Amino acid sequence: MIIKLSGQVIKRRRLDYMLLAALVLLIATGFLVVLSAAGGLSFGREIIHKYISAVPLAAGAFIFGWLFNYQIYNEQWKAVYVFILALLGAVLFAGAIVRNTSGWFRLGSFSVQPAEICRIALVLVAAAFLTRNSRNVRDFKTLVLFGMLIAPAFLLIMLQPDFSSLVITAPALLILLYAAGVNLFYFALLGAFALAAGVFPILWTFTALRPEVMEAGGFMYIIGRTAHSWVYALGFCAAVLAAFAIVWQGLKQFRVYLPAVFVFIMASAVISGFWCGFFVNKHLKNYQRKRIEAFLSPETDPKGAGYNVLQARIAMGAGGVTGKGLFSGTQSKLGFVPEKHTDFILAVLGEELGLLGTLCVLALYMVLLWRTAAVAGMAGDRYGGLVCCGVFGIFFTYMTVNFGMLIGFVPVAGVPLPFISYGGSNLVASMWAFGLVESVYSRRLTMV
């Protein structure tokens, strides 16, 4: 684009080439690795065909996202919102049922996963809402309204049910909220709630897995008992209230005056998080419980739940620095690595291309995140910046969860690694997301 500004001719780049280069390199790497991973599968040929046909679609999605003015989503955010709900609703009723979940549309021989598109669209809607409420973004009311806006989409996804999708979307929206400037106290509240809701089921699984920890008595014994006994659970809530009251009084002695309401709200966040965890723990599916157990101690049952993670890690470790060479990984070729073309593709990458391969992919991801954050900083309007932050949040979460799963920092969550894993819908949606970032870039604010 050439702008004439007070007689000066400024040539402005419309495309962030570094971002594009990183994307192209990632897709090229991913294609090779999927080619290798699918080689040993009985339906490998089919996968490669689908992958090849998804690439032009993805390119189209990128170009569409880039050329289409992103501000239109802001103006038409209600339409986008209705589109999301309609799509998620339709897939519930009309979707094909695969492995007890109805998250797919069948179009001829192709399957489309609308949740992937909706994740990006949800960011657009959330960003639009936060833009509209930019003046009172620090209010609690905004937060509640934001929650009410997001809840229906979340509910529809949970009805599929597709929890692994939420594993990405929920943290991404939190990052978006943070970037939008939400009051950190509310953030702390939300964090306390989420922490309690997440940590307690893990703790309970742990005490069930290792009864001797509970036998030793003390704190872990009480924690263990709260999972099954209402008396203990209620007692625990009372103890939390009391602990907060004591801390509040203690701080008073040091002349740190906190409003009593703050402390009370904080305590209730923890307690409600506890009850949420209690509820989650009661309704945890067997395979999900197994995954937590495998995360807590993958070596105790190497042939059972921990098998997948262990084998994936063996594959990565066996690759060494330079790897065994493309198409020569024994762990993946002989079927020891599970889900090797999707969630555990990093294991194939690590085995065949070695440390250099994994570090390169990690570096490319860091380039994506850096460029996205940079574009957010130079966005022409608040909406564009927030959209970039949402995209940043999504891919930051993808990277953390997928890499973290392989290196043993995060339980197995069934999350792919975009651009590297096989998955047409995911590839198209991801390219669209970075198309949006490029769109923001090309309409950025330029200081001359």
Partner 1 sequence: MKTDQFFHTRRLRKLLIAACCAGAVIAWRLIDIQLVSHQRYAHAAEENRTQIIYHTAPRGRILANNGAVIAGNLPAFSLYYMPAGRPPNKEYTDAFAADISLHLAIPEDEIFRKLNNAFKSGKATLLLSNVSPQKIFAVAELQVYYSGLYILEETKRYYPLGFFASHLVGYMGAMDNKSWLRLGGDADYRLNSKIGKSGIERHYESDLKGLDGGLMLEVDHVGRVKRIIKDNKWRAGSDIYTTLNFDAQKAAQDSIKKSLTGRGAIVALDPKTGAVLAMVSAPDFDPNIFAPYGDEEVLQSKKISIPEYNLAIQGMYPPASPFKIITAIAAAQTGRLDVHEKVNCTGKIILNGREFKCWHRHGEMDFMDGMAHSCDTYFYTLGLKTGASHIEQIERLFRFGRQTGIDLPFEKSGNLYGPAKRARNKTYWFGGDTLNLSIGQGELLVTPVQMAVFAATLANKGKIWRPYYIEQITDADGKNTFEAEPEQIAEAKLNDGVYELIHQSLKGVVDNATGRAAKIKGLDVYGKTGTAQNPHGDDHGWFVAFSAREGQEPDFAIAVLVEHGKGGASAAAPVAREVIKAFYGIK
Q: Which of 192, 389, 417, 431 binds partner 1 (CB under 8 A)?
A: 389
> Given the complex with partner 1, which of 352 and 438 has the nearer CB atom?
352
Q: Any contact of residue 373 with partner 1 (CB under 8 A)?
A: yes
Q: Any contact of residue 311 with partner 1 (CB under 8 A)?
A: yes
Q: Any contact of residue 341 with partner 1 (CB under 8 A)?
A: no
Smallest gap from residue 403 Cβ to partner 1 (A): 5
Q: Which of 36, 74, 331, 426 binds partner 1 (CB under 8 A)?
A: 331
The closest alpha carbon to 24, from 422, 419, 433, belongs to 419
Q: Any contact of residue 318 with partner 1 (CB under 8 A)?
A: yes
Q: Any contact of residue 412 with partner 1 (CB under 8 A)?
A: no
- Give the whole-angstrom CA distance, residue 266 versus residue 264: 5
- Give the whole-angstrom CA distance, residue 177 versus residue 189: 13
Q: Any contact of residue 304 with partner 1 (CB under 8 A)?
A: no
DSSP code of 210?
A: -
Find the part of the chain contacting partner 1 (CB under 8 A) among 165-173, 273-281, 290-298, 382-390. Answer: 382-390
- Give the whole-angstrom CA distance, residue 94 versus residue 46: 24
Q: Which of 136, 216, 409, 446 binds partner 1 (CB under 8 A)?
A: 409
> Given the complex with partner 1, which of 114 and 390 has the nearer CB atom?
390
Which residue's entry shows tokens 């262990």? 310
Give the chain's count of helices (H) and strands (E).
18, 5
- Give the whole-angstrom CA distance, residue 61 versus residue 171: 24
Query: In whole angstroms, what separates CA 184 from the centre of its chain?
Result: 21
Q: Which of 38, 315, 427, 431 binds partner 1 (CB under 8 A)?
A: 315
For CA atoms 428, 61, 431, 145, the dihedral sign is negative
Which residue's entry shows tokens 């999927």? 34
Q: Which of 65, 354, 424, 435 binds partner 1 (CB under 8 A)?
A: 354
Q: Which of 313, 391, 428, 436 binds partner 1 (CB under 8 A)?
A: 313
* Amino acid identity, position 249: Q
Sheet of strand 96-98, all strands in order from the earlier edge strand to the far edge: 96-98, 101-107, 110-112
Which residue's entry shows tokens 């390199």? 25
Q: Any contact of residue 399 with partner 1 (CB under 8 A)?
A: yes
Q: Which of 24, 158, 258, 407 binds partner 1 (CB under 8 A)?
A: 407
Which residue's entry shows tokens 């003015």? 69
Tokens of 290: 């197994």
- Give the whole-angstrom CA distance, residue 387 versus residue 385: 5
Q: Any contact of residue 194 with partner 1 (CB under 8 A)?
A: no
CB 97 within 8 A of CB 365: no
CA distances from residue 170 to 134, 240, 303, 393, 431 in whole angstroms, order as listed: 21, 26, 32, 10, 20
Q: Which of 385, 390, 416, 423 binds partner 1 (CB under 8 A)?
A: 385
Find the part of the chain contacting partner 1 (CB under 8 A) among 31-39, 103-111, 242-250, 318-326. Answer: 318-326
CB burial of residue 220 (10 Å; 0-12, 13-18, 19+): middle
For partner 1, what does the binding mask look like between residues 124 and 163, x meaning CB under 8 A?
----------------------------------------
Q: Any contact of residue 390 with partner 1 (CB under 8 A)?
A: no
Find the part of the chain contacting partner 1 (CB under 8 A) among 142-150, 156-164, 238-246, 332-340. Answer: 332-340
Q: Any contact of residue 448 with partner 1 (CB under 8 A)?
A: no
| Residues sharing a CB contact under 8 Å with residue 287, sequence separation 6 or more, in sequence order | none
Contact positions vs partner 1 (CB under 8 A): 175, 178-181, 311, 313-321, 330-331, 334-336, 350-351, 354-355, 358-359, 362, 365-366, 369-370, 373, 376-377, 379, 381-382, 385-386, 389, 392, 396, 399-400, 403-404, 407-409, 445
